[in-house]
Structures are given as structure tokens and as C-alpha cells.
Amino acid sequence: MQKRIRKHPILSIPDKQTIISFTCNGNVYQGIKGEPVASALIANDIHILSHHPKNHASMGIYCANGQCSRCTLLINGKPQKSCITPLEENMSIEILDGLPKIPPDDTPYHGKEQKEFECDILVVGGGPSGLTGALECAEMGYSVIIAEDKNQLGGKLLLQTHKFFGSEEACYAGTRGIDIAHILSEKVLNHPRIQVLLNSPLVALYKDKYAGIFLDYKRYGRIHFNGLFVSAGAREKSLVFPGNDLPGIYGAGAFQTLVNRDLIQSSQRIFIVGSGNVGLIAAYHALQAGIDVVGICDILPYVTGYKVHADKIKRMGVPLWLNHTILYAEGKDILEKITLAQVDDAFRPCMNTTKTFAVDTLLIAAGLTPIDEFYQEAKRFGFQVVKAGDASEIAEASSAMVGGRAAAQELARALGKKIPPPNDLYREVNLLKSKPGKTWDIPPFTLTEKFQPIIRCSQEIPCNPCVSSCPVKAIRLIPRRQDLMDIPEYLEGCTGCGNCVSICPGLAIVLARKISDTQAEIVLPFEFIPEFSPGDNIPLRDMEGQDVCEGKIHRIRYDKKTKTHLIHVYVPLDNALSIAGIRLREAKEDDFFENPAPEYFPNDALVCQCERVTVGELIHFIQEHHVRDMNQLKVLRAGMGACGGKNCSVHFPALFKKSGIDIQTVTPMKYRPLSMEIPLQSIINEEENS
């Protein structure tokens, strides 16, 4: 039976899909036409996609975004990245075992014309900043081409089932990312000055203001442009620890791609490294998909994401292990368990505190690296170029949308358009990408016979949809900072409509009223498929995730606009002011077991996973040969793999530091001319279907 998501509280499950057959290592399987090959394989419980030529180690997906090459397979006899190759009828797939053989080809070259395009502004990437930037440029009269490497526009918005923070006016706050993607995509696709090239990544820049593009991953074309808008997003950072290459270990974004875009139930039990918003949201998405989240850890002593995100995860029963780091992962060919340890004040693992968790998936949510190589190259060539979104600075998609508009206006100014600097937009961008600010005490509440909102949004974050959604203006932001970061408070006049409860992105608001001297009614937001009915008792928790009591369900109503259930429960009056949410999972005794580790060998951890080069090998080479140029590490094949050094080179500065060398004295890594590997037959356009 295939591992696909058959029901979801937010996402629509397609009724009709074209089911096709394909073979993998001679066995017949079924998949959905057009879905990525990697997703089809994982749906069929095939997670090992290749064996490394160096030591036959198993490899699986990591980024699911075409950035790392760990998912390379033999597809119809040719090595291709399976995460970006669409599944076709009767496709022949083989697990890549070692180095692929070059298939014989004695077909004479007859020559093909190279397709060319022209535009005023070329936008690299159709994510949130690319879409708003393209629309802004087009509205100013420029012709625009968007080069997008996926089969649809939206970027990471397509993976976001949660409601956005920010303000409704600036960035659709209170609307789910998937719905924002649809809104912006429709505007772009219907704009007469914008042309969209899907499944067509930009792969090279030339000094004569031409860009090379891999059209439909089959043909090579060129685009002539005057201004370049880089909004290519970011790539997942890896972590260096023993076992970090096992199939089942991948980026949080890859997990969201499998679960929220491709509707694959890729896992049963997951653990997450990183307590930023990405990690916290990935945990929430896993729970919505029916996947158990065993825990989240962070090496820091505090949660780095929004408090409201962490609070709702704790309320649902997911433990957070702060001051903990991942020591190593283990498994025979595929991930089976991970081991954590608490760290001391110098972030060194305390080996008498280790804990081992049995999991089939480990998500790395330890940060992102901007994909800005084209921006850097365009600057060297002297082009008019801007960057926006994660390609500029890692932040929330809300700030990326506004930042796309600001960057578009900056590019227009550079191209000669007489418009004022977008200072107001930049101020809004800076506000939307603000780190969490001060946490304030929540004021005491007194229940009355009328509903009133109990607001537990106590941390300064950029968000106000509860204010703008209230039809009677009963909620305002307390004017301490005089901006969007101010904390909301209830004034008076609540009608009990529940708008603020259903629209709050952090699920930090409930309605409450006294119904007798012993009983109260609470209205709770619920973004899952209810598996209970009126009359049932459900476990309730406080803001910090502590059990409070059980409540009896009185009524369930559904807000179609926000896709949120409002659960009315009767609770003891004495507990009413403590209740903040519904517990989904209960901590189990077998979630982990104590496992003191006698030794720890970080030198065995892989830095370059493409070529399997370890920490110890690189440090020894740096010290022995007095290396002062990162490019010299290529002698050990580090940075020479299929990913082009984009992933391992992020760790090179730390290696030089650990070797006792000032990184300021080291020559940085040089990037390859092409951003991804392209078959020669595609560059000269001799594909049959070109």
C-alpha cells in the first residue's frame, strides 16, 4: 500500500489523478503522472536512491529542491536528479550503484537552433519576492520574464499550510501560504507584460547581458535582459555529525515538500533539530499529516522561533529539548535512531546526559544559505541587479513579499526611472523581518456571562490580523512601540463571532465566558480533522503545554475562510482561565531511553557528502599543508561533487577556525560557471523533442 496522505485538515486531496506504471530495478510500481520521481519512490517506501562509489554507502534525498544531487538515479538509462524529474508512463528507473556508465550514442549531430528570449527585466525564481517583484516591475511598464525551476509558481508558499503573520494590507496576514501563492500566481499569469518559463532554471550569466536557461530541463536557451532580479530563495544547511548522510535525514523544507506539496506520508516518527520558525512549523505540518513528532532540540537555551509557535507545539504534546545537540545518527542503510546530549556553557556535549530516540526521519532545521551566486556574478559584470527574499536575507515570507516590491523599485531607479527611493517599503520590510522582541506579562482576566477573547500573544512579533478582523474594533495593539510589533489587547464589546480566534496565526486566542458558578465555556481553535464529537471529553492544556483538565465538547463549528474548526467546550470554572489548547499526543515512556556514550568522534563526520570527505581528513590536510585557500581542499575532492560545492563549502570557514587559522587570511571558494549540471546534448540542443 502506497504511503500517501488520504485526508488533511487544510489541503485538498485531488479526486482524479492519472495513475501510471513505472519500473524500479525491474519491479513494477505505480505513481502519479508528473510528480517527482523521488516522491513516487518514497510513496512506494523506497528511500535508498543510490549507493556511493567510494564505499557503497546508502544515499537518499536531502533537499528535494535540485540543490544537492543526493537523489540522483538512472532514469531511462541516464543519471538525473529524481526530485526534479517528473514521472512518466513506463519510465525505467534504476537505483544508482556507484558511478553511472555513459550510454552509447552514435547519432550524428544535425544541429538545432538555440531558442532566445528578450525582456527588460529577468526575474530568477517565482517565489513570494519574485512574484511581487515581477508584478511591481510590470506595473511600471517593463517587460518581465520569470525563470522558475519548478512546474508551478509560488516557491515556498506552496509548502505553507499555516496562516501568515504580518498585516493584511502588506502581506495577506491571516491567509495561508498556499492561498497566497494562488493569489499572486493568478495575478502574474494574467499580466500582459509578464512571461513565465516553468521547469526552466537559470544556469549561467554571460558578460553581454545574456543568461543561459535550461528550458524544461531538456533544451538550452538564452535570455537577453537589461536588469536582473535575483529571488532564487535559499538552500538547506546541513549539519556535521556522524551518520549525517543516512537516508531519512533531510532538510525541513524537503519534508514540507513531500508532505504538503506532493502529499506523501514519508515518515512515521520524526525528530527535528532546530527550534526556529522553520523547525516549529515543520513539526506542526507533520502533526497535521498524521505523523508523530517525537521531539525538537536546539543547542541554545531558548526557542529561536516565535513563542506562539513553540507554545502551540508544546500544547499538542511535543517536547522541546533545549541546550541539547545531535551527537550521531545510526541505522543499517537507513535511519533507525538518533542520539542527543545536553551541552555545557561552551556548547560541548555532556556525555553522561545522552538520550537515544527511535525515529525513521530526522529533519535538519538549522538554517538556510541564500542562493545569491547570480547576484554576486552580475555585480562583478557590472549589471543592474538586485536581490530579494531569502536570496537577500533569510526571513519570513511576509517580509519577502514586501521586499520584492522594494527591490523592484530600486532596480527601476537603477535603470533610469525617476521615482523616489522606496524608503517606506524598506521600513516595512525591516519591521516584518524583526526578530522576536520583549515578552510581556499577560494581564489578568475576569470572566463574565458574555464571551470575551483571552489573548496569549505576549511576545513582540510583527502581526495584527486579530485587530483588523474584529468587526466591532474590540481589539487594539497596546501603543508601546507604536508599530506592528506591539502586543494586542482586548478592549470591550466582543460579540463572540470568533474571527480573532480563527484568524490568529499563532493560535494564541480563545473565547471564554462564565455560564454558571461552577462552569465556563471556552472556544478553541483547531486546525486538524476532529476525531471527536459533541458530548466527548478531550484533554486540555495551558499555554506552556501542561495538562489542566478535560473538557466536554458542546459544539463544533467550521470557518471555511480560515479552514479552522472552533471547538466549544464546557470546563470547570476554576480551570477556565488556564486553558489554551487541545493536547494531540501524549509523551510515551518509550519516546527515548538513556544511553550514556563513552566517546564521541566528530572527526568521523562527513563534511562533503558528495565525495565523502570527513572533518578529520580536512583538518589534517589544512594543518599539514598550511592551506590558506579553500579551493585547495579540492585536492581531497571536497567541493568537487555533483552539488558543485554549494553545500559543503558552507562548513569550510568553521574547519579553518578549528584548525587555528584566521578565516580572514583564507581565499574563499570559487563557484562553478554553471549553477547545475546539464547534459552536453542539451547544451547543443540535440534532444529529440527540442
Residue 180 to residues 57, 128, 156, 662, Cα–Cα distance (Å):
41, 9, 11, 45
Mean pLDDT of 325-335: 93
Dig out the grid coordinates for 281 from the structure. Answer: 512549523
**Counting Cβ atoms within 10 Å, is residue 373 exposed (0-12), middle (13-18) or buried (19+)?**
middle
Number of Cβ atoms within 10 Å of the Cβ of 491: 12
Q: Is the predicted pLDDT of residue 685 greater than 60, yes or no?
A: yes
- 134 DSSP β-pair partners: none
What is the pLDDT, as a whole number, of residue 558? 96
Which tens digit of pLDDT belongs to each residue from 372-409?
A: 999 999 999 999 999 999 999 988 899 999 999 999 99
**Counting Cβ atoms within 10 Å, is residue 156 exposed (0-12), middle (13-18) or buried (19+)?**
buried
Cell 467546550 appears where?
569
Which tens digit of pLDDT belongs to each residue from 54-96?
A: 888 999 999 888 888 888 999 998 888 999 899 999 999 999 8
Cell 465538547 appears where?
553
Residue pair 244/18 in contact (Cβ under 8 Å)? The answer is no
Q: Is the predicted pLDDT of residue 588 greater than 80, yes or no?
A: no
Closest to 337 (Cα-Cα) out of 585, 595, 64, 587: 595
Distance CA 212, CA 222 (A): 5
Distance CA 279, CA 367 (A): 9
Which tens digit of pLDDT belongs to each residue from 435-491?
A: 999 999 998 889 999 999 999 999 999 999 999 999 999 999 999 999 999 999 999
Residue ranges of alpha helices (H) inside 204-332 are 252-256, 277-288, 307-315
Q: Which domains does the chain have, with CATH numbers?
A: 19-100+238-364 (3.50.50.60), 116-234+371-432 (3.50.50.60), 452-589 (no CATH), 602-665 (1.10.10)
Cell 528511500 appears where?
47
520 Cβ contact list (under 8 Å, min separation 6): 447, 512, 513, 514, 570, 571, 572, 573, 576
Residue 430 to residues 300, 396, 424, 484, 583, Cα–Cα distance (Å):
25, 11, 10, 11, 35
Distance CA 443, CA 221 (A): 62
Distance CA 283, CA 309 (A): 10
Number of Cβ atoms within 10 Å of the Cβ of 126: 30
Q: Is the predicted pLDDT of residue 161 greater than 80, yes or no?
A: yes
- 482 DSSP β-pair partners: none
- The pTM assigned to this predicted structure is 0.90
What is the pLDDT, as a whole number, of residue 597? 43
Torsion angle (degrees, nearest 10) of CA 80, 86, 89, 90 = 20
